[in-house]
A and B are shown apart, each in its own frame.
Chain A
Amino acid sequence: MKHYEVEILDAKTREKLCFLDKVEPQATIAEIKNLFTKTQGKSLKDEDVLQKLPVGTTATLYFRDLGAQISWVTVFLTEYAGPLFIYLLFYFRVPFIYGHKYDFTSSRHTVVHLACTCHSLHYVKRLLETLFVHRFSHGTMPLRNIFKNCTYYWGFAAWMAYYINHPLYTPPTYGAQQVKLALAIFVICQLGNFSIHMALRDLRPAGSKTRKIPYPTKNPFTWLFLLVSCPNYTYEVGSWIGFAIMTQCLPVALFSLVGFTQMTIWAKGKHRSYLKEFRDYPPLRMPIIPFLL
């Protein structure tokens, strides 16, 4: 049987890192990766088979060190557990946040209690989804992301929670009507967001990394797929707009705006890769906002 010779060089210095004599043609990259390999440009996947790669009888693979990595699950759990806990610190008016005469007091406004419930349930939902729903394409991300992401989530959570739970908090201008409407928006969008996560999960069998075009299912919340590539982001923005209207708090509005900006960037990227990968991608769909964006 004809064997391959595989030479592995360092991507930057072109140094020979490893020379593999007699590699089986049927060897998968995952097997060769045990000796750390990646090509320059687009990186190879663990599932790639050596014989199917565009190489001659001598394959040269380049190794690129991605730096310290951390698992996606760890990052998600940490960045979501923070806001859950931090918001509650403000809600219960733990000492040294507001004046001492307010320690452990409770707000007299219903909307403040409602907001705490919504905020907390939102992050509990995110934690549960991370543990039981999401199927990640990548196992890890660069380590410094955890510091960046946690600063963002924890920082904004503290900033929002400070004002909503403040003794001098002012309830919404239009009172109970405004709160009810906002709550409806929030709940609908949360259900929508969850439905999309479930629909995406069902597209991909456990442990695999396949990619397919998502389509609407029997669940009405998924019908947004007709108009948008990433309805999960659409619903997420909607939830936060709902929360902003409910609390009538400018920091919440700013958080929604920043989140919207980031999610739009992600949605556009995802939309572009769908278009590149699938010839028959539905033309009516926009990345995140129907017909507009």
Chain B
Amino acid sequence: WLVLAIAMVRFYMEKGTHRGLYKSIQKTLKFFQTFALLEIVHCLIGIVPTSVLVTGVQVSSRIFMVWLITHSIKPIQNEESVVLFLVSWTVTEITRYSFYTFSLLDHLPYFIKWARYNFFIILYPVGVAGELLTIYAALPYVKKTGMFSIRLPNKYNVSFDYYYFLLITMASYIPLFPQLYFHMLRQRRKVLHGEVIVEKDD
């Protein structure tokens, strides 16, 4: 992700524009983001204590953005919103992985812990905004081309409309984002301020 960050900064410094940025870093992005699937495996086999479901949702949404939106819908690759979420993801991941690495080495500098539990306050909404704006920009192209859709009639009597699927996905951010955001806020209070949060027991 550091590689990505440096590549993006260099590109902007050389070209002075964000156009073409995606094209230049796409291979690196796809490589590293797809590898994040391993994180789900780590939860499945138990070497990481996080829930498979939470990790699954987070990684899936990233894979979805990278492969099913930005990779597949070429016209939106130069949108500003793409840079928005790319920057947000890059900073988040660098912080997160540094946090894990130093924790494993038992040598966690406080500022990394501080960064991990504070940066998200800005980065998370920024990233979500970038993602939503990108999907929104993609909608007209999806509708026009009917991509990824199955129409009736067909042998298996099923249909799928990618356009409506995207609309529903965008709507799902409304309940999901606050839940994840408040979860991080609660974690932050626990870790940084040692507050004991009483969880509702079902």
Contact = CB atoms under 8 A, between A and B. Distances in A.
A168 B155 contact: no
Q: Which of the listed residues B157, B158, B159 has the most CB atoms from chain A within 10 Å of its own CB?
A: B157
Interface string B147-166: 00000111111110000000
Contact of B152 (A12, A67, A166, A247): A166
B158 A170 contact: no
A21 B159 CA distance: 68
Contact of B153 (A67, A168, A250, A251): A168
A145 interface: no
Q: Is the interface of B mostly helix, strand, loop or mixed?
A: loop
Contacts of B158: 163, 249-251
Interface range on chain A (Cβ under 8 Å from partner):
10 to 19
Interface string A148-175: 0000000000000001101011100100
Nearest to A160: B157
B201 interface: yes
B152 A168 contact: yes
Q: Is the interface of A mostly helix, strand, loop or mixed?
A: loop
Interface of A: 12, 67, 163-164, 166, 168-170, 173, 247-251
A120 B202 CA distance: 37
Interface of B: 152-159, 201-202
Nearest to B150: A250
Nearest to B151: A168
A12 B202 CA distance: 12
A169 B157 contact: yes
12 contacts: A12-B201, A163-B157, A163-B159, A166-B152, A166-B157, A168-B152, A168-B153, A248-B155, A248-B156, A249-B157, A249-B158, A251-B158
A287 to B, nearest CB: 23
Contacts of B156: 248-250
Given A169-B153, A170-B155, A250-B158, 11 more contacts: A67-B202, A163-B152, A163-B158, A166-B152, A166-B157, A168-B152, A168-B153, A170-B154, A170-B157, A249-B157, A251-B158
Q: Which of the listed residues A164, A166, A248, A250 has the most CB atoms from chain B within 10 Å of its own CB?
A: A250
A164 B157 contact: yes
Contacts of A166: 152, 157
Contacts of A12: 201
A173 B155 CA distance: 7
A101 B153 CA distance: 17
Contacts of A173: 155
A173 B152 CA distance: 15
Contacts of B202: 67
B112 to A, nearest CB: 38
Nearest to B156: A250
Nearest to B202: A67
A164 B159 CA distance: 12
Contacts of B152: 163, 166, 168
A170 B155 CA distance: 6
Which 3 residue pairs are nearest across A and B when measured between Cβ atoms? A250-B158, A168-B153, A249-B157
Contacts of B157: 163-164, 166, 169-170, 247-251
